[in-house]
Amino acid sequence: MPVELSYLVWGFVAGLASGALYFGGLWLTVAHLPRARRPYRLLAISFVLRMAAVLAVFYLLLPLGWVVLATALGGLLSARQLWLRSKGGGKGKGWRSAPMQPSSGSGE
């Protein structure tokens, strides 16, 4: 069954929007963690709400077929890359992982 180009475009746009919502919400959550009285609760509630929003978008796209879902996933992953680059996480900008902690020597 061929898929119309407009469905693919809307799938990609829906993926971009849900990715922006997900990663924007993650950014806000991490920014509020130092001031939170219960940071674990904030993380858990934020995760559930962000995941519910993304899953709702994908659920609404489900009747359009797996090709549209794959396009939406591409949009979501593109939103992640755009978000990282907008926050200075691109290659060549000093993006580094956390330094390794010294081992305690206990073997654990």
0.95 exceeded by the pTM? no
User: pLDDT of 24-59, one tens digit each?
Assistant: 999 999 999 999 999 999 999 999 999 999 999 999
pLDDT of residue 104: 60
| pLDDT tops 60 at residue 98 | no
For residue 63, the surrounding DSSP H or E stretch is none
* pLDDT of 107 above 60: no
Residue 20 has, within 13 A of its CA and on its CB side, a CA count of: 8
Q: Where are the alpha helices (DSSP H) in 1-108?
A: 5-32, 39-61, 66-86
Of 4-13, 29-38, 50-59, 82-91, minimum mean pLDDT range: 82-91
Q: Give the Cβ contact number of residue 8 at 10 Å.
A: 17
